[in-house]
Structure 1
């Protein structure tokens, strides 16, 4: 009887071992299959592109071409207006500005001052003030310009497109010149000459590019409107003269940003 019991226990022990081995093998296979399935479906998360830092103060130089439109009018008995006449020339100067960056949005202020040689002239012809022989000309010249602007840009890495607007200031000469005759009824025509600081507004857009982390190159367009200025001729007519001026400019600049 004891032999039968021992044999039964041996058989049961072997059966249990087989069951345990089978369970272990099944679990291992299931784990391997799950791992393989996870590996097949796992995709590495993309690395976010670094945001270029535009925050800081910068200094630079700029130069470019300018062109625009002048218009002159007079309020003599029959208002005389020759229409528009074009002006053109160049500007060059310095820039100072500062940016603050919030994520990709860049806010800034900028100031520039420029030498300028932008001029034009036009013959008025005859008559003027009722004198058939009175030949005259008008001319205009911009000696310098300056701007105080706010800027709004959006960073695309090393590229920063922007729009800007603010105040425009210029030193302008306006002249009305009489060539012949120089006198009427014994009174000399003094013509009209005015040198003034004209204040108006500017709007524009451009794009900055970081050549290095601290060196920035720029291309931009500006529209400046300087409104009009007026004054009276000397005796004997005292006619009011009005000069209107606006300009366009395309400039390139090179700047250094301080960390």
Structure 2
């Protein structure tokens, strides 16, 4: 075993110098490549734009017309028949009262016959002597009665008790007959007054029917100066320039980019049109002083190059002037119009921060409400206004600084 190990060591020592001669000296490997990040369109940017605005939209031809109001029709009316006479009612006579009826007097009765006895008994000189003799005066006629006779007369008078020695009493010789009462008076009754009759109401005559009259419709006539008038139209293009601010956002890695941008630019574009005969003019002139838009953007970014479409709201201040020299009149209106702007553009990122681009916009700010109305009498008017939209085209170059 020891011999084998020694033999191996000896052979190895002989082979080492030969193996070292066969080793190749290679150069060191190069460092790995570092990939630069892809450009992203996401970010806020500000910048400016400059170019021109050009007409070529609506012709701005004004309308000038005379309005003559119509006459409304009047409805007819049927005939009104006469009303018949209405007779009155006759008066009713009053009823007379009943006359006063006097009563009838009663019949007198017969009075009773009364004998008044005035007596004194025991009077001397009486033909009848004794205490029974009484001197009696009957209704003033003197006589002598015995006391028995006087007592009989006394009893006849209805008296009771004993007869006094002297006194007076009455004897009814005959009772008499009572009278009959009369009838009472009957007062008169008042009569009823007469009532007035109602007067006769005379008939009213009828009225004939009234026929309807046909009205005339409203009429509108185009206004001109006669055979020698001519129409004119003048459009002035303008420089357009200003500033903008916007924001882009890249969606995922597919290169689709959306964004929003707002801009404000100076624009001095004018549209004028009308009719003239070389002396008098009726026309409308509209001038835009500034333009502002707020728009959305959507496009495709191909690395540092992007193509997009855009659209949104447009604002502009338009001064409208209407002249009517035949009547020596003019009117003006200055208002801010709201419309829309649409277009397309391209952007190129020269560096991560510097972006250059070119953009086209079509802008429409609508029609104006201004008009000049001239009264002509009898309700007729001459009206001049512009019915066409104020629209134009804009092309400008842009330079923006992007914040990243």
Match of 1:92 among 241, 247, 254: 241
Is 1:55 aligned with 2:45? no
**Going by fraction, where is helix more abundant, 1 or 2?**
1
Match of 1:142 among 264, 273, 288: 288
What is residue 299 of structure 2 aligned with on the other side?
A: 153
What is residue 247 of structure 1 aligned with on the other side?
A: 392
Q: Distance in 2 between matches of 1:79 and 1:67?
A: 30
Q: Does the C-alpha gap of structure 1 residues 84 and 154 become closer, same or farther in structure 2, counting only changes over 3 Å?
A: farther
The one of the two structures with greater contact order (alpha-carbon pairs below 8 A, sep at least 6) is 2
Q: Distance in 2 between matches of 1:211 and 1:218?
A: 10
What is residue 222 of structure 1 aligned with on the other side?
A: 361
Match of 2:370 among 227, 231, 234: 231
Aligned-residue RMSD, C-alpha: 2.6
Match of 1:124 among 267, 271, 275: 275
Instruction: Report deviation, 1:75.
Output: 5.1
Instruction: Give the SS at the match of 1:230.
Output: coil
Conservation of the 8 A alpha-carbon contact between 1:123 and 1:136: yes
Q: Distance in 2 between matches of 1:58 and 1:145?
A: 20
Q: Distance in 1 between matches of 2:365 and 2:223?
A: 22
Residues 97-147 of structure 1: CA distance to partner in whole angstroms, max 9, x if unpaired? Answer: 0011012011000000111111243452149xxxxx632343221100000
Is 1:78 aligned with 2:217? no
Q: Does the C-alpha gap of structure 1 residues 238 and 203 become closer, same or farther in structure 2, counting only changes over 3 Å?
A: same
Residues 66-117 of structure 1: CA distance to partner in whole angstroms, max 9, x if unpaired? Answer: 1123413325132469586534111111100001101201100000011111
Larger of the two Rg values belongs to structure: 2
Is 1:213 aligned with 2:202? no
Q: Does the C-alpha gap of structure 1 residues 134 and 233 become closer, same or farther in structure 2, counting only changes over 3 Å?
A: same
Aligned positions, number: 201
What is residue 38 of structure 1 aligned with on the other side?
A: none
Structure 2: runs of 5+ lacking an equivalent: 1-34, 66-219, 225-230, 376-380
What is residue 164 of structure 1 aligned with on the other side?
A: 310
Match of 1:198 among 337, 342, 345: 337
What is residue 106 of structure 1 aligned with on the other side?
A: 257
Instruction: Report deviation, 1:232.
Output: 2.9
Q: Distance in 1 between matches of 2:284 and 2:370?
A: 14
**Going by fraction, where is strand more abundant, 1 or 2?**
1
**TM-score, with normalisation over the residues of structure 1?**
0.70
